[in-house]
Amino acid sequence: MSTPSESGVPRRRTDAVRNRHLVLEATKALLAEGGNAITVTVISQRAGVGAATVVRTFGSKEALVDAAVADLLEPLIRRGRAALSEPDAEQALRGFLVEAMAFQSAHWVMGERLGVMELPATAAQRAALDGVGLDLITRARDEGVIRTDLDVAVVAVLINELTYAIARSASASQSLSEAYLAVILDGLRPQPELP
């Protein structure tokens, strides 16, 4: 026989909050590990709650995955925003690229599998991440460490595409990542006039 709380209501609320947390953390862990089938059964086993609870807590599996991915993106967005107030604009951009590569290396399989899902919170976080990236590039450009002969939006897309490619490369290695950062950052600098 379970111990009832004094009124019953606070206990139900506490349980709901606890279950929500367990379900969300389990889903984040499964997504971050990659290679897992993200089914209600698998999530409920990992979270240690019933399948009905998994569905009830977030309304749908898509809503749950959306909340989990949005949560996983949060630290990277925060790091990017913090980089904006670092004193050296080029080091700030470099640091953010290193973080973004590490994140994408760990999570690109997850990203590929989300392709067809409707994930509004995730889309908003991705937009926030793109915004932070663009801010870091714009700042570096304003401070004269990025060339101005290329459109800033094109540079942002270029950096996104290239960083993502290196992060998910089958031949990804420390030396490849370092060579990439050296070449991209040197190539983005204002270029001397050729003789």
**Distance between start and end Cα atoms, the chain:** 87
Produce one character per residue of 77-94: b if its CB has 16 or more CB atoms within 10 Å, e if not: bebbeebeeeeebbebbb
Least CB distance to a copy of itself at residue 185 (A): 7
Size of the residue set binding a copy of itself (CB under 8 A): 28
* Positions 173 through 192 that interact with a copy of itself (CB under 8 A): 175-176, 179-180, 182-189, 191-192
Distance (Å, whole) CA 114 – CA 46: 20
Per rule CB under 8 A, is residue 171 in the interface with a copy of itself?
Answer: yes
Complex with a copy of itself: residue 64 or 89, whichever CB lies closer: 89
Question: With contact defined as beta carbons under 8 Å apart, do 31 and 65 qualify?
Answer: yes
Say how far apart CA 137 and CA 147 lie, in whole Å: 10
Mask: binding to a copy of itself, 128-167, rule CB under 8 A, as x and -?
---------------------xxx--xx-xx--xx-xxx-
Is 32 a residue that touches a copy of itself (CB under 8 A)? no
Cα angle 101-129-93, degrees, rounded to a multiple of 5: 55
Which residues would be at the binding site for a copy of itself (CB under 8 A)? 149-151, 154-155, 157-158, 161-162, 164-166, 169, 171, 175-176, 179-180, 182-189, 191-192
